[in-house]
Structure 1
Amino acid sequence: MEARGGGGSGRVVVLAFCIAGIWCSYITQGVLQETLSTKRFGPDKRRFEHLAFLNLAQNVVCFLWSLIMLMIWPRSSSGGAPWWSYWSASITNTIGPAMGIEALKYISYPAQVLAKSSKMIPVMLMGTLVYGIKYTIPEYICTFLVAGGVSAFALAKTSSKTVSKLAHPNAPLGYGLCFLNLAFDGFTNSTQDSITARYPKTSAWEIMLGMNLWGTIYNVVYMFGWPNASGFEAVRFCQEHPEAAWDILMYCLCGAVGQNFIFLTISRFGSLANTTITTTRKFVSIVVSSLLSGNPLSAKQWGCVVMVFSGLSYQIYLKWRKVRSKQKKAT
């Protein structure tokens, strides 16, 4: 991996630091997310049903975090995107993750991670149907492995122990919510790219601030406004079950810290290195979830997991090979 500047040994240390930070932050967050969606809290053995509240809490913590970072390291020049430019991307960024979290009521955490790993499928589908893009045979092989693995996992029999932990088992609805999450993520990413293209001096902290500012506004209206107002019930639940409140706080802090390491990785090593780290992290998350949370996967399901991540790994290898060939031509 080629970092942007700095000595060889220094790059290795920074890269190892980024890998450890991303893995620790998001694997811990995944365990906490699964705990909050399946655990029964307190002597009354109640579930935390208001999973959309996690989205609001995450927005607030990340907004405060980015605000503090901008106060510590203020911009030396102007020219960043205005705060109001993030309103549209924040709508889909609010709805998408909420759907992903809500899916945990209906499918297991490993199934959710696997479904959300198939981002390349809608991207290639839209590219072919809408823009007439032609892909190579190896790219189609990657897509076949991922799509086949996710489909086979969805059709494989889930253990009764896993099903009993879900609030309302309903696999088609759960997978549907995950794929809608992917669609909204695609719009969010393209809109963010458009903003940074128009305002190239925008820093990562400003993007984080703008996105989470609007996300907080939308989620406050959704969680505490009429006719839903489930935010009050979520707050009451946290007051009655401090253990749940602590898990939510740790979940949000893990997300904020993880975003920091992602920004550091992209700025020092590029987006491809970040993709590699986050993809391998997803695989480890499934393993950790299966071992720690008592959601055992069958041999067939493990085969599907290996199939999906083989496709993703092959895709990453193709991207690395393309980058290396460009570097050789440049020199």
Structure 2
Amino acid sequence: MEDHVDGGGVKRVLILAFCVVGIWAAYITQGVLQETISTKRFGADGRRFDHFPFLNFAQSVICFVWSFVMIKLWSSSSKGSAPLWSYWSPSITNTIGPTMGMQALKYISYPAQVLAKSSKMIPVMLMGTIMYGVKYTIPDYISTFLVAGGVSAFALQKTSSRTMSKLANPNAPLGYGLCFLNLAFDGYTNATQDSIKARYPNTNPWDIMLGMNLWVSIYSGLYIFVGPLVPNWSYGNGYEAVRFCQEHPEAAWDIILYCLCGAVGQNFIFLTISRFGSLTNTTITTTRKFMSIVVSSVVSGNPLSPKQWGSVAMVFSGLSLQIFLKWQKLQKLKKKKKKGV
């Protein structure tokens, strides 16, 4: 009996390690590719790729195909799962939000973008307090203060000239503004997805991935391929993006790899949540963000000053405290359930 338990424990640890490596490898690689695509000058003509709505479209198409294949190979859409039409609303914000996050890389560095997007709890707490009268504890406010203070301190510090030279159009207020709009849209997307899951409990992660990416592909496709047919259209030209990729195959390969990393990363996230819960997944993805900043600084040539590293430490201290608070609440719930039994 003990051997069976030990064997099960070892297997669980190995699966967790597999999930950690998978998430880190997929999203750190994707981060490097995202930074490369947004800052690199391709070809002999030294042109930048600045068609970020096309990047969102390409990723949604590949993730849609990936989820469709996974459903056919490993599962099937459950009876009583959410119908595809139910995803039309959150997919609108899921089309606009990530595009804004990518667009921000024209104006701020990748580490700055990662830090700004790590402050998701700030708009959540503001909305919860103002609109719903939610009361938070002092440790909750401390964690939020650390994250907000760290992001603010990082934004106020001078970025190295080497990093600035890589940006298409340095503009910190605009870059951070786009990141926070991205977070606001993500908040609506996540809340609506939770609502769909509550209404249709048999919906599995592959169904959600399929439905969301189907609608995002439709919206993005209309925006970048039908929009340019309208006179005086000046945003998100998909035809120009395709032409750019034809003229610069290196950029096309970077985009394909970027999209595949996103699809693979979602696989590992679903596996982690199903086996270990959302708290474990949050911990893994939070540490992954920190590693992405380290990799960007060391490998991609975005040197951070000691003061900026202090701001990074401040942000991730706040995020770590938030994870610990969630763990405490989870333990209290488990104790209450045991007493109830």
| TM over 0.5, shorter chain | yes
Q: In 1, are the aligned partners of 2:77 and 2:207 still within 8 Å (CA)?
A: no
2:315 alignment counterpart: 308
Deviations 1:184-204 (A, max 9, x none): 000000100010111111111
Specify the code of the residue in structure 1 equivalent to 2:279.
L
Identity %: 75
Match of 1:61, SS? helix
Shift of 1:131: 1.0
1:3 alignment counterpart: none
- Spell out the pairing of 1:276-315 with structure 2 (5 A cutoff): 276-315=283-322
Structure 1 window deviating more from structure 2 (94-103 vs 44-53): it is: 44-53
Specify the code of the residue in structure 2 equivalent to 1:164.
S
Separation in 2 of the partners of 1:73 and 1:326?
Answer: 33
1:234 alignment counterpart: 241
Q: Pick closer, same or farther for the CA change 1:142–1:270 going to 2, 3 Å.
A: same
Separation in 1 of the partners of 2:138 and 2:36?
Answer: 41
Specify the code of the residue in structure 2 equivalent to 1:277.
I
Shift of 1:74: 3.8
Shift of 1:326: 2.5
Match of 1:152, SS? helix
Q: In 1, are the aligned partners of 2:61 and 2:213 still within 8 Å (CA)?
A: yes
Separation in 1 of the partners of 2:294 and 2:151?
Answer: 16
Separation in 1 of the partners of 2:293 and 2:174?
Answer: 21
Deviations 1:247-296 (A, max 9, x none): 00000000000000000000011101000000010000000000111111
Shift of 1:76: 7.2
Q: Pick closer, same or farther for the CA change 1:81–1:290 going to 2, 3 Å.
A: same
Specify the code of the residue in structure 2 equivalent to 1:25.
A
Aligned pair 1:149/2:156, yes or no?
Answer: no
Match of 2:17, SS? helix
1:31 alignment counterpart: 32
Shift of 1:25: 0.2
Q: Pick closer, same or farther for the CA change 1:329–1:74 going to 2, 3 Å.
A: closer
Shift of 1:320: 1.0
Match of 1:157, SS? coil
Specify the code of the residue in structure 2 equivalent to 1:166.
L
Specify the code of the residue in structure 2 equivalent to 1:294.
G
Deviations 1:58-89 (A, max 9, x none): 00000000010111134274111111100000
1:322 alignment counterpart: 329
Q: In 1, are the aligned partners of 2:92 and 2:216 still within 8 Å (CA)?
A: yes
2:113 alignment counterpart: 112
Q: Pick closer, same or farther for the CA change 1:106–1:7 going to 2, 3 Å.
A: same
- Spell out the pairing of 1:51-62 with structure 2 (5 A cutoff): 51-62=52-63
TM-score by length of 2: 0.94
- Spell out the pairing of 1:94-173 with structure 2 (5 A cutoff): 94-173=95-174
Shift of 1:229: 5.9
Q: Which runs of 5+ in 2 are unaligned?
A: 1-6, 228-232
Aligned pair 1:207/2:211, yes or no?
Answer: no
Structure 1 window deviating more from structure 2 (123-132 vs 93-102): it is: 123-132
Match of 1:130, SS? helix
Number of residue-to-residue matches in the alignment:
326
Specify the code of the residue in structure 2 equivalent to 1:63.
F
TM-score by length of 1: 0.96
Q: In 1, are the aligned partners of 2:30 and 2:258 still within 8 Å (CA)?
A: yes
Aligned pair 1:79/2:80, yes or no?
Answer: yes
Specify the code of the residue in structure 2 equivalent to 1:239.
Q
Q: Which runs of 5+ in 1 are unaligned?
A: 1-5
1:261 alignment counterpart: 268
